[in-house]
Structure formats: C-alpha cells, structure tokens
Structure 1
Amino acid sequence: MKYMLLVCGDDTADASGMAPVEPWVEELGAERGVRLHGHRLRLPADAVTVRVRDGEVLRTDGPFAETKEYVAGFDILDCATMEEAIEAAAKHPVATIGAMEIRAFWEDEDAEGEIRRLDAELTEALRERDLDRAMVCYAPDVEVFHPVSGMEQSGADALRKAQEEWFAALAGPADREVLDFRVRIDESVAFSHALVRLRAPLTDGTTLDSTTRVTTGYRAAGDRWRIVHQHMSVPSDAGSPPAGETRS
C-alpha cells in the first residue's frame, strides 16, 4: 500500500545537530525499495495561496496559515502496513526536530488492471489487423524504432505509417501470445516486462514465429494509460523482421 509521508519542519527548532537525510534515502530507497520518490519543497515564504470567491481568483503570497510548523518536503512510501510506514518515518532525521505526517493513498483505482487490459487490447487489434484500434493504445508523443521500416520514428503519425507497413506484410490474422507479463507502477508512470510470441502468415509465403522480450513504458494521461515507449528484442533468425535487435 502507498503512503504519503509529509515532512513537517519547525522554524523554531535548532537543526544544527540533525543527521543528514541522504543515508535515510539510500536505505529506504536503493536498499529496501520502500521509498519510491520524494522531494524537498521551497520555504513557506515562497508559497502562493490561491482561493476562488464569487468567481474571482484571489492570490496571497505565503502559506495558507501562519504557523511555526510547515511542510518541508514529501516522500512516497510503498509499505505493507501502517506500522511499517511508521517505522520508516521514525528513522527520518527530521522526525527528531519536527514531525512526520503519514497518510494512506485511496486504493479505489486498479492501475495494473487497466494496463493489463491495454495489453489485451493490443493482442486483439493485432489479431483483427485493426490499425485504429491499436493506435488508441499509444500516446501522441510515443517514441519508437519500428522493426519493419528500420528507422527511428517519433510521434503517433510516424508510428501509424510504420504499422501500416507491418500490417501489409501479414497475410492473415496474427496470434500474439503473452507468455510472461510483469508490471511496475509508480503514480502516473509504469513499466512492464513481457515475453511475447508472435505467429502469423506473411505475404511472401513464409510464416512468422518469433518470441520477443518487450519492455514497455506507460504514462497516465487524464483518466487512462497510454504507451509512450516500447523496446522489443527479436532473435536474428525470426524470419521477419531481419534485424537482430529492433524496437517498436
């Protein structure tokens, strides 16, 4: 479960003896994988408070409330329980001079399920050779290196053109079988790693039968996920495409 850790400083406290934060970040992040990411914030004096009253936007320089305690930064934690999150917060150096507020994320969204459904949509689009259905899965600024054209493509328009060439090489429906699919999600960004087997008849009379390792990057745009990057490693004897290392 994910927790927001609000790091609350105290402008009346003496921070001269506080331990550095870097070892905490190293232990909780790189070593244990509990800290997903976080950042320091500017001081309250640099804040801007915005209110809307009777349709008028009211701006006030400074924090929304005058208090000696303020949010100095934040960290996103991925912990099994609240007790684990409390343990992580207690190790933060600022806890010795300020306070750490822990708040759990709402768990009413199924991001992994949405990404898995997106991958299933690609499978169906390929089977039906439905280019429009496939393109809906990609972001407008997607970056690709397509196996058919052999050239780097940038943007959805370039990808569509390359996909048209790919679909034209198929003599019938393509079977896309996902043998392994693992997803890692961090807020609005996600990555998946998969083994994918493609089988399809080709217009030159041969048959494509290739197992590829696919790494895909996703970004949440509005209320849906879309693909922004895809890397595909293809064996050199796959028959099509001919290159030993290609990306799409």
Structure 2
Amino acid sequence: MKYMLLVCGDDTADASGAPPVEPWVDELGAGGVRLHGHRLAAPSGAVTVRVRGGEVLRTDGPFAETKEYVAGFDVLECDTLEQAVEAAAEHPVATFGAMEVRPFWPMSDEEDADTAIRALDAGLTAAVRDRDLDRLLAPYAPDVEVFHPMSGLEGSGIDAFRKAQEWWFSTVTGPVEREVLDFRLRVDESVAFSHALVRTRATLTTGEALDSTLRVSTGYRLPADRWLIVHQHTSAAFDAGIEEARS
C-alpha cells in the first residue's frame, strides 16, 4: 500500500537542533519503503488558483494562512498504516513540525499499473504478429526515444520510429512471432521501467528463417489516463543464458 507523507514545517519552531534528513532518506530508500520525494520551496513562493464563475482567481501565497506549511513530501510503500506511521515518526521534522500520513486512493484492476503495462506489452505482441504498424505505434509517445540494434535506425520522435518499423516489416514476410521470455517491471507512480528478453521468429523476404533473441529495456510515463512508452533500447543479447532460455 502506498502512502503520501506530507512533511509540515512550523514557522515558529526552532529547527536548528534537528538532525539532517539524509540518513532517514538513505535508510528508508535502501529498504524499499521510501519510493521518492522532494523538498518544496517556501510557502511565500506559492500561488493559489481558484476558478469562480469562469474567472481564474490567483492569490499569491499558500491555500491557508497558518504557521504550519507543507515543506516537502515523500511517497512510502508499507504493508500497513502502522508501518507508515513508524516511518513518519523517524523523520527529523517530526520533532518540531508535523507529519501527515495519508493512504493513496485504492486502484481498481483496470487502473493497476502492473496490469496496464503488461496488457500494453501483450498488445505489442499482437500488433507485431499481424504486422499492424498503427496498432504497434499507438502506445508510443510522440517524443519517444528509440534505439534499435540495426545501424542507422536510432532516432527521436514517433516519425523516426515509424520509418524504422516500416523498414523492418519490409524485410519479413507473413506473420511475426514475438515471444517474451522474461519480463521484469518496476513501477514508481507515473514512471515505470521494464527489462525483457524478447524472441522474434519470422521468415525473411529472402526465404531464410529469422530467429533472434534481444534485450529490450523500456521506459514508460503516465501523462494522463494511459501509459505511454517514452524510451526503448533494444540490443543483442550474447550470453549462455539466452541459449538456455530459447531451448
């Protein structure tokens, strides 16, 4: 379960004797409890925005006039609320400020990142099999960075990737079999990374059989309501483990 930890400072408190926060960050980060976080600028630099009657109302300063303010945030992953509270109590700011621990809104299966990204990859397999270029490109961001093992096909943007895929499809005939031998995924809120071994089998236009296994590292971003591929690096995998996986 993920928890948002709002680190609340206090203008009237003396924080001169507080210990540094770096050991807390290092310890919880190494243990996989703290996923990420960041310090925020002073509330004097905040801007509060409201829309009333179609008019945008801007107020310089924080939402609430109070001596306490949100000085930073951390995203924690804990099994229970009690564990998240224990982690918050170890934060140095807890000795002079306040720590608000709030669970993330629970996701449905459709919203689950792991489920969504694995479904995205399954869609790539189907699109490659059918050689459906439009369906293959659909989950890629317009500014995607793609590094292809064939020389000259590296490029930025969806147009460059389209040209690379068009060329590749022109070298094979009939359906293309894409088999994911190993898929490892790490998700961190709106960013995710996967590493996979992907085996591709097809018939080249020369009549020869193609059977290759490549390493594919993919970066994803969640800009709105669906995951998009923003970076992909494909390279040849040369090790004994590949042959074992393929046999």
Normalising by the residue count of structure 1, what TM-score does the alignment of the two structures yield? 0.91
Matched ranges for 1:42-191 at <5 A? 42-108=41-107, 109-191=111-193
Q: Give the Å deviation of 1:26.
A: 0.8
Q: Tell me how many residue pairs correspond in the alignment.
A: 236
Matched AA of 1:75: D
Shift of 1:149: 4.8
CA distance in 1: counterparts of 2:67 and 2:126, whole angstroms: 58
TM-score, reference length from structure 2:
0.91
Matched, 1:222 2:221: no
Letter paired with 1:80: D
SS in 2 for 1:174: strand
Q: Distance in 1 between matches of 2:170 and 2:201?
A: 15
Check conservation: 2:14, 2:96, Cα contact below 8 A: yes
| Cα deviations by residue, 1:111-152 (Å, 9 ceiling, x for unpaired) | 111111110111001100111110112111111122345342
SS of equivalent residue, structure 1 residue 89: helix
**Cα distance, 1:235 vs. partner?**
4.2
Per the alignment, residue 243 of structure 2 pairs with: none
Q: What is the CA-CA distance between 1:226 and the residue it aligns to?
A: 1.1
Q: 1:89 to 1:174 in 2, by over 3 A?
A: same
SS in 2 for 1:147: coil
1:233 aligns with 2:235: yes
Letter in 1 for 2:133: L
Identity score, percent: 73
Change over 3 Å in CA distance of 1:151–1:127 after alignment to 2: closer
The unaligned stretches of length 5 or more in structure 2 are: 240-247
Alpha-carbon RMSD across the aligned residues, in angstroms, is: 1.5
CA contact (8 A) 1:44 1:63 kept: yes
Query: What secondary structure sits across from 1:167 in the alignment?
Result: helix
Amino acid at match of 2:33: V
Residue in 1 aligned with 2:15?
15
Aligned to 2:198: 196
Q: Which residue of 1 aligns with 2:212?
A: 210
What is the CA–CA distance in structure 1 between the aligned matches of 2:68 and 2:46, rounded to whole Å? 14
| Superposed displacement of residue 6, structure 1 | 0.2
Counterpart amino acid of 1:47? A
Give the partner amino acid of 1:137: P
SS at match of 1:66: coil
The residue that corresponds to 1:6 in the other structure is 6
- For the residue of structure 2 that corresponds to 1:80, the secondary structure is coil
SS in 1 for 2:65: coil
Q: For 1:221, what is the secondary structure of its paired residue?
A: coil
- The runs of 4+ residues in structure 1 deviating greater than 4 Å are none
Return 51-60 or 127-136, whichever deviates more.
51-60
Residue 222 of structure 1 aligns to which amino acid in structure 2? A
Instruction: Give distance in 2, aligned partners of 1:182 and 1:22.
Output: 30
SS of corresponding position for 1:224? coil
Is 2:185–2:193's contact at 8 Å kept on the other side of the alignment?
yes
CA contact (8 A) 1:50 1:58 kept: yes
Residue 172 of structure 1 aligns with an amino acid whose one-letter code is G
SS in 1 for 2:207: coil
**Maintained 8 Å contact 1:149/1:162:** no
SS in 1 for 2:214: strand
Cα offset, 1:236, TM superposition? 6.7
SS in 2 for 1:107: coil
Contact 1:148 1:165 in 2 (8 A): no
